[in-house]
A and B are shown apart, each in its own frame.
Chain A
Amino acid sequence: MLHYATFVFLIVFSTLLVGANKIVVSPSGEYKTVKKAIETAQPGDTVWVENGTYPEYEITVDKPVTIIGEELAIIDAQKRGYIFNITADSVSIIGLTLNNVGVSFTKDYAAIHTHNVSNFWFEGITFNNPFFAFHIERSTNGTIKNNIINGNAVLEHDSGNGIHLWHSSNIEILSNKIFQMRDGIYFEFVKHSKVIGNESKRNVRYGLHFMFSNDDEYKNNVFENNGAGVAVMFSKKIFMRNNTFQLNWGSASYGLLLKEIYDADIRENEFVQNTIGINAEGSNRVSLEKNNFMNNGWAIKFLGGCYGNKFIENNFMHNSFDVSYHGNINGNLFDKNYWSEYVGYDLDKDGIGDVPFRPVKLFSYVVNQTPETIVLLRSLFVDLINFSEKVSPVFTPDNLRDNHPLMRPVK
C-alpha cells in the first residue's frame, strides 16, 4: 500500500514539475465522466477519478495520459462492451475498479484493451466480472502489476481470459491475483516476457496457458485448483522456476502439461496433490532439476515423442505412481533423484543408493491398459506382482532407471 501511495505521489509530483494538468473527475464536479476528461486532456496530463460509480464504456484513450482512481472509484460498463480502448503509447492506469464488461461471442470485449502500443503501466486495478480483464494486442514494453481479477466463469465457451496477451513482447506481469476466469494468464506469440509472483486459482481451463511463445520466464507463481492446471504448448526456451502447482484434480487435469516444448528449464517447482504432476507429450531437451513431486496421482506421465529430457535431483515423495512411460528410452534420463519408494541400501555411505531404482511399476502399466483397475491400488496382490516385476522386468522398460538414487531428499 505504501508502495502504491509513493508511486501515486511521484506521478502527481512529476506532473506538477513538468507543468502538466490534473483533471479531476467526480460525480458532482465539472467533469462527470472519464470519457469527457480524457477528450479534453492534453498529452501528459493526469486524470484523477474521485470516489463514485461511473456508468461508462468504450472509453478511447488516444493520447499518453495517466488515469488514477481513488479507492472507491468504479467504472461500470453494465455489460455493454469494452471499458478502456488504448491506442496511444505511454498510458498508465492506476487503482480503479472496473466492473461488468460486456460478454460477446464475436468480440473479445475487455476491461482494458490495447492495440499496437508500448510503454503502458497498469497497476492496482480491481476487476469484477470482466469478460476479458486485460487484452493486450501487438504491444511491447508494458507492466501489469498488483491487479486483482475476480471472474465468474463457469463454462469455457462463454468466458474470457484474465490476462490475455497476443503478439506482444517484453511485458512484465507481476503479483496479480486471478480467480475464476477461463485461462488465468494466456500467452500467444509472446516473446521475452516475465510472469512473476502471480496467483491463479479456480480457473475453468488453465491457470497459465502458453502457446507459440518463446524465450519467456515465469517464477514464484501459485497455480491452484484450476480446471486443467497449467499448459505450456508449442514453445521454446521457457524458464520456469519456483512455481507451485497444486490441487489440480480430474481426469484431464495436470499440474503442468508440456506439449511440443523444446529446451525448457524447469527447476525448484513444487507439484503437490495433482492428478498428474507433469504430463509430457512431444517435449524435447527439457531439463528438470530440484523439483518436488509430492502426493500426486502420477508424478510424471510420458506420452509419445519425448526425447532427451533430463530429470536430475528431484524429490518424488508419496506419489501413487512416480512415472508412467510409453515406448523407448529416447535419451530420457533420470539421475540422482530421491524416491520415497526406494528400498535399496547404501553400504559405502556416500548418500547414493547402491542399487538402481526403477520408477515404472508393473501396476502403472496395467492401469494404462485397463484404467478401471485403479481400484486395486495398494492391494497386497498388486504389491506382489510389482515385486516380481521389479525382480525380473518383462513389461516395464528395463533400462528406464535411476542409477544413482539418493538416500535423502534434496533440500
Chain B
Amino acid sequence: MIRILKYSFFDLMRGRWSYIYAAFYFILGYALLFLNNDVSKAVITLLNVIISLTPLIGVIFGVMYYYNSRDFTELLLAQPIKRTDIFLGQYLGLSLSLSLSLAAGLGIPFIVYGLFQSPAIFDFLSLLFTGALLTFIFVALGYNIALSFEDKIRGFGLAILTWLFLTIIYDGLFLISMMIFRDYPLDKFALGAAMFNPIDLSRILILLKLDISALLGYTGAVFEKFFGTNLGMTCALGLLSLWVILPVMRIIYKSGRKDF
C-alpha cells in the first residue's frame, strides 16, 4: 500500500494541478494579507474560503483522479496486489498531496507576514487542520461517487451536487426549519443537525476559537455545555474523523466487490 501511496503522491506532486492549486492559495493568502495587513482579519476571511473551497476541490479531484487513472488501476489489478492496497493507496496519495498544497500555499505568505509573532497562529493552525480534514472527507466522497458511477458526466454532476448540497442547501433548509419551528425548544435540534454535515462541523470547530463570546450569548443549558466546555471540540473532532472513516470503509467494501 505504501508503494502505491508513494507512487500516487509523487505522480500528483509532479503534475501541474497540485502546483496550480497551491499557487491559488498562495496568491489568495498573499492578496488577503496585502490588502489588510492584519493576520487575524485574514484568518476570518480565509475561514469562508477554506470551508467552501477545499470540499469542492476535494470532491472534484477525487472523481477526476479515479476516472483518469482508470487504465493504470486496471493494470495494477492484473498484478498480485490486494485491491484494498491499490484503492487506499491512491486515496491517501491524493488526499495527502491536496492537503500539502493547501498547507504550503497558505503557510508561506502567512509566515512571511509574521504569523509566528501573531496571536492568531493557533486560529490559523486549526484552520489548516480543518482544511486538511475536509480534504480527506471530500476526496473519500468523490471516490465513492466515482466507484458507484461508470458514467463520467453523472459522476461529476453528482459530485458537484453533493458539494452544493452540503455547503449551501443544507444550511438553508436548516435555517428555514429553525425559523419555522422557533416556538419549540430547538437547541438539541440545532446541534444535532450541525453534526450531520461535515462542513457545519468544521465551521463550528473554528467558531469555537473565533466567536466563542457570541456563541455563549444564547441562554440554554445544552448550548452552554456544548460550547462552554471541551465537549464541543471533542464531539466535532470525533464526528469529523467518523466522516473520514465511514466513506473510506465504503471505498474498501465497494472496491472489493466491483467488477472491473
A100 to B230, CA, bound (A): 36
- The answer for the CA separation of A252 and B218 in the assembled complex, in Å, is 9
Judged by a CB distance under 8 angstroms, whether A195 is at the interface is no
Would A376 and B174 count as touching, CB distance under 8 A? yes
Q: Which of B44-52, B64-72, B99-107, B149-157 contacts A (4 or more CB under 8 A)?
A: B44-52
**CB <8 Å contact, A372 and B214:** no
Q: A275-B216, A295-B213 are in contact. Are A378 and B47 (CB under 8 A)?
A: yes
Residues of chain A in range 246-263 having any CB-CB distance to chain B below 8 Å: 249-253
Given contacts A275-B213, A297-B211, A380-B52, whether A371 and B218 have CB atoms under 8 Å apart is yes
- Residues of B with C-beta under 8 A to A384: 168
**Cα distance A328–B141 in the bound complex, in angstroms:** 49
Whether B216 lies near A318 (C-beta < 8 A) is no
Shortest beta-carbon distance from B17 to chain A in Å:
24
Q: How close is B83's CB to chain A, nearest CB, in angstroms?
A: 37
Are A381 and B213 in contact, CB atoms less than 8 angstroms apart? no
* Cβ contact of A318, chosen from B41, B190, B206, B224, cutoff 8 A: B41
In the bound complex, residues from chain B placing their C-beta under 8 Å from that of A381 are 167-168, 171-172, 175
Partner pick for A251 among B52, B204, B211, B216, CB 8 A cutoff: B216
Known: A275-B217, A318-B44. A380 touches B171 (CB 8 A): yes
Mask for B186-228, Cβ within 8 A of A = 1, else 0? Answer: 1101110010000010011011001111111111100110000
A72 within 8 A of B: no
A370 with B211: CB separation less than 8 A: no
Question: Is the interface on chain B under 10, 10 to 19, 20 to 34, or 35 or more residues?
Answer: 35 or more
> Among the listed A249, A318, A366, A376, which residue makes an inter-chain contact with B40, where contact means beta carbons less than 8 Å apart?
A318
Q: Does B16 contact A (CB under 8 A)?
A: no
The reply to whether the CB of A382 lies closer than 8 angstroms to some CB of chain B is yes
Contact residues in B for A380 (Cβ distance below 8 Å): 48, 51-52, 167-168, 171
B75 within 8 A of A: no
With A and B bound together, what is the CA distance between A379 and B200 in angstroms? 8
Give chain B's interface secondary structure class.
helix
Q: Is B78 at the interface (CB under 8 A from chain A)?
A: no
* B14 interfacial contact with A, CB 8 Å: no
* Identity of the chain B residue whose Cβ is nearest the Cβ of A320 in the assembled complex: B214
Question: Is B182 on the interface with A (CB-CB < 8 A)?
Answer: yes
- Bitwise interface map of A from 356 to 385 toward B, beta carbon under 8 Å scored 1, else 0: 000000000010011111111111111110
Q: Are B218 and A251 in contact (CB under 8 A)?
A: yes
Q: State A410–B213 Cα separation when bound (angstroms).
A: 24
* CA–CA, A369 and B183, complex, Å: 10
Q: What residues of A have a CB within 8 angstroms of the CB of B178 in the complex?
A: 370, 372-373
Residue numbers in A under 8 Å from B217 (CB-CB):
251, 275-276, 297-298, 371, 374
Check if B179 is an interface residue, CB within 8 A of chain A.
yes
Determine the chain B residues whose CB is within 8 A of the CB of A379 once the complex forms: 171, 200, 203
Tell whether, in the assembled complex, residue A297 and residue B175 are in contact, meaning their CB atoms are under 8 Å apart: no
A296 at the interface (CB under 8 A from B): yes
**CB of A273 closer than 8 Å to a CB of B:** yes
- Contact A366 to B179, CB < 8 A, known contacts A276-B217, A318-B44: yes
What chain B residues lie within 8 Å of A371 (beta carbons)?
217-220
Known: A318-B40, A381-B175. A374 touches B214 (CB 8 A): yes
Closest CB of chain A to B50's CB: distance in Å? 11
- A274-319 at interface with B (beta carbon < 8 Å): 274-276, 295-298, 317-318
A375 and B194 within 8 A (CB): yes
Expressed in whole angstroms, the Cα–Cα distance for A179 and B97 within the complex equals 52
**In the complex, chain A residues whose CB is within 8 Å of the CB of B47:** 378
What is the bound-complex CA distance between A296 and B211, given in angstroms?
8
> Could you list 6 further interchain pairs (A-B, Cβ under 8 angstroms) beyond the known A251-B216, A376-B200?
A249-B212, A250-B216, A251-B219, A275-B216, A381-B168, A382-B171
What are 9 residue pairs bridging A and B, where the CB atoms are less than 8 Å apart in the complex?
A251-B224, A273-B213, A318-B41, A321-B214, A340-B41, A373-B178, A374-B218, A376-B174, A379-B203
